[in-house]
Structure 1
Amino acid sequence: METATVHLLEIKATMLTKPSLYTSIPIAVEKHDLPGKAFSEAFTKDIGISKGLENFALGEMLVLSQALGNIFLGETFSAFICVHNDSNQIAKDIVIKTDLQTSSQRLTLLSATINEPVPKLDPSESIEQVIQHEVKELGMHLLVCAVSYTSPKGEKMFFRKLFKFNVIKPLDVKTKFYPEENEMYLEAQVQNITKVPLTMESVKFEPSLHYTSEDLNDLTSPFHVGKSFLLNPNDTYQYLYRIRTKYSSTMQERVKSPSSAVGKLDIVWRSAMGEKGRLQTSQLQKAPFTVPELNLKITKLPDAICVEKKFEMTCTLQNTSERKFDCQLLMTKSKDGGIVWCGTSGKRLGILTPGTSIGLQLQFLPLATGLQTIGGIKILDSITSKTYSFDDIAKIFVYASLQSPFPT
């Protein structure tokens, strides 16, 4: 018949976190109800309730965490490990080992104070140590605390205890590249997906070796990336960066085939009680930029126009290929239908040799108010019978009144 092993020592683990404000559940009753004022008097006598604010859930006291809970990715996991001798005998040669097991690896966490066996532990005494680790993986984590010691009878004893905590994602980061001929733009959307406000300290873009970056965020805005600001739950803030390819220091020319790894975002925030967190994205990869054979550039376009008032757009059609085009202008309806073109479709533009360009003056009529998209322009090459479409080439604001909403 097997008997359970009774150990002399006991181990406990508690996450070291900032305290949270004490909350209560107030119960309000009418005067004619049976409890009468009993609940109100009980709340008034509660030392954790804010005086004069008995019907509010928020109290004046701070509460320490009693167990391992959730932690945000990028924060530092700190735990207090305590091995206590709750028997009346002396334990000898105590060795404490703490491992952190994730879904992909197992890490040994070393204490800053205890690295060697403790010769003995008297009754009612404790061994205490603090471990820290910056969490870099999502999902459930397992803290494995193992203790080995020698009993008064000289027996080698061993036991371990497991503590679970979950690492959750605090921020959702979405990125999008807008490539141009000699540069590109990076748009980053950072969303707070937690249930508590986060104080954003910095959101910086760190370019890779072949690139330089320029922060295009508003320097005068209180939400500037260099200043701290509050990001409420489910709120999203956008950042914009201009990225250029570096020039070679020896050849003084542009690097012809730079790496597709452009750089990474470095985000630093603090949670409600000041806990600091940091996230770094993986290397952002740009899509290969191919120069179109025909390039349409806008040279003149009004910012806003009154509805049902015809306006003109001036643009340039450039041949960037090594062959000639016999161009024909085709005008079709845009996708949203808010703007229609005025003129004759099928107009022949003539021969466009390599490296040359031709100016176009196109007229449109806005039929709907709001931010409208200009598109539906097609160029037909009569030599190859290939059609080049230009959709969503520009946006214009269409207002209803005869007076422009923009100051002159």
Structure 2
Amino acid sequence: EHLVALKVMRLTKPALISPTIVTCDFKDLPGNILNNYLKDDPTSVLQMETLAAGQFLLLPQSFGNIYLGETFSCYVCVHNETTQPVQSVSIKADLQTNSQRIPLSTQQNQSPTMLDVDETLSDVIHHEVKDLGTHILVCEVTYMSNYNTLASFRKFFKFEVMKPLDVKTKIYNAESDEVFLEAQVQNITSGPIILEQVSLEGSHQFTVKSLNEDGEGHSVFGDVTLLQAQESCQYLYCLTPK
């Protein structure tokens, strides 16, 4: 058994937690047992227990969904759970992808630390995810054991990186030399997405003209292009040979 404990939590926005509503009439067999239990639930709102209104925030219980382009952030903490100081404590974290191993933690560039009783050594890691597929966060803790020898252990945290958008295209040939390209952009995440900018780059053979603005240059989709989960939006472009 190791002298220190390692905890890792992904840093994402918390969610509101609501009580589980199970109630009945006081004339029923359970009487007021269920109602009293609901009132004693710490997540319920006083005088509004049956409305499922949340007033507490729930920290993330897992790594959840991570999408390409997001910044992966997590909190790494090593805690001394013994009744004596622990010498030479250090943290090292790497992110293993399908093609490379990326060092993440800044603690590995610092000298080892002594942890007193109940003290912690922590680090916040940030990394922009640029690869799809399976990622493994490898956290390694090194410390001086009671036998004056270096001891270490590792923990592995596996998560998948998925693409947030799906793009499908169609090409229409006009009677002239112009070619019209339709791009359908679909939100395939589990939440809403705002598209700040969608553009098509030209090539050395074609000049691109966007047909998604009105005569004054304003987007035909309005000031904000909001896509709910699984919703899509079509963009049209005109390609003219140079």
In the TM superposition, 1:236-251 aligns within 5 A as 236-245=232-241
Residue number in structure 2 paired with 1:145: 139
Question: Closer, same or farther in 2 for the Cα pair 1:52/1:166, shift >3 Å?
Answer: farther
Q: Aligned partners of 1:189, 1:114: CA distance in 2, in Å?
A: 45
Question: Closer, same or farther in 2 for the Cα pair 1:12/1:47, shift >3 Å?
Answer: closer
2:231 is the alignment partner of 1:235: yes
Moved more, 88-97 or 120-129: 88-97
Q: Aligned partners of 1:84, 1:34: CA distance in 2, in Å?
A: 49
Q: Give TM-score scaled by structure 2 length.
A: 0.81
In the TM superposition, 1:358-377 aligns within 5 A as none
Q: Secondary structure at the match of 1:234?
A: coil
Alignment check: 8 A CA contact 1:199 1:231 kept: yes
Q: Which one of 196, 199, 213 corresponds to residue 202 of structure 1?
A: 196
**Counterpart residue identity of residue 132, structure 1:** H
Unmatched runs of 5 consecutive residues or more in structure 2? none
In the TM superposition, residue 242 of structure 1 has moved relative to its aligned partner by 2.5
Question: Closer, same or farther in 2 for the Cα pair 1:148/1:45, shift >3 Å?
Answer: closer
Residue number in structure 1 paired with 2:61: 66
Residue number in structure 2 paired with 1:214: 209
Q: Aligned partners of 1:31, 1:234: CA distance in 2, in Å?
A: 44
Q: Which one of 92, 111, 122 corresponds to residue 117 of structure 1?
A: 111
Question: Closer, same or farther in 2 for the Cα pair 1:40/1:195, shift >3 Å?
Answer: farther
In the TM superposition, residue 40 of structure 1 has moved relative to its aligned partner by 3.5
Question: Closer, same or farther in 2 for the Cα pair 1:44/1:223, shift >3 Å?
Answer: farther
In the TM superposition, 1:284-303 aligns within 5 A as none
Question: Closer, same or farther in 2 for the Cα pair 1:119/1:47, shift >3 Å?
Answer: closer
Moved more, 204-213 or 65-74: 204-213
Q: Aligned partners of 2:195, 2:180: CA distance in 1, in Å?
A: 23
Instruction: Specify the structure having the higher radius of gyration (Cα).
Output: 1
Q: Aligned partners of 2:58, 2:64: CA distance in 1, in Å?
A: 14
Residue number in structure 2 paired with 1:96: 91
Q: Aligned partners of 2:173, 2:103: CA distance in 1, in Å?
A: 45
In the TM superposition, residue 44 of structure 1 has moved relative to its aligned partner by 4.1
In the TM superposition, residue 74 of structure 1 has moved relative to its aligned partner by 2.2
Alignment check: 8 A CA contact 2:90 2:113 kept: no
Count of paired positions: 237
Question: Closer, same or farther in 2 for the Cα pair 1:54/1:222, shift >3 Å?
Answer: farther
Residue number in structure 1 paired with 2:121: 127
Residue number in structure 1 paired with 2:221: 223
Residue number in structure 1 paired with 2:3: 8
Q: Aligned partners of 1:90, 1:26: CA distance in 2, in Å?
A: 47
Residue number in structure 2 paired with 1:79: 74
In the TM superposition, residue 51 of structure 1 has moved relative to its aligned partner by 5.5
Q: Secondary structure at the match of 1:195?
A: coil
In the TM superposition, residue 79 of structure 1 has moved relative to its aligned partner by 0.5
In the TM superposition, residue 175 of structure 1 has moved relative to its aligned partner by 1.9
In the TM superposition, 1:178-189 aligns within 5 A as 178-180=172-174, 182-189=177-184
Q: What's the C-alpha RMSD, in Å, of the aligned pairs?
A: 2.8
In the TM superposition, residue 17 of structure 1 has moved relative to its aligned partner by 0.3
Alignment check: 8 A CA contact 2:202 2:208 kept: no
Question: Closer, same or farther in 2 for the Cα pair 1:52/1:123, shift >3 Å?
Answer: closer
Q: As a proportion of its length, which structure holds more strand?
A: 1
Q: Aligned partners of 1:91, 1:32: CA distance in 2, in Å?
A: 60
**Counterpart residue identity of residue 233, structure 1:** A
Unmatched runs of 5 consecutive residues or more in structure 1? 1-5, 246-253, 255-408
Alignment check: 8 A CA contact 1:114 1:129 kept: no
In the TM superposition, residue 87 of structure 1 has moved relative to its aligned partner by 1.9
**Counterpart residue identity of residue 236, structure 2:** L
Q: Aligned partners of 1:16, 1:107: CA distance in 2, in Å?
A: 19
Q: Aligned partners of 2:200, 2:144: CA distance in 1, in Å?
A: 53
Q: Give TM-score scaled by structure 1 length.
A: 0.51
**Counterpart residue identity of residue 78, structure 1:** S
**Counterpart residue identity of residue 226, structure 2:** L
Q: Aligned partners of 1:243, 1:209: CA distance in 2, in Å?
A: 10
In the TM superposition, residue 72 of structure 1 has moved relative to its aligned partner by 2.3
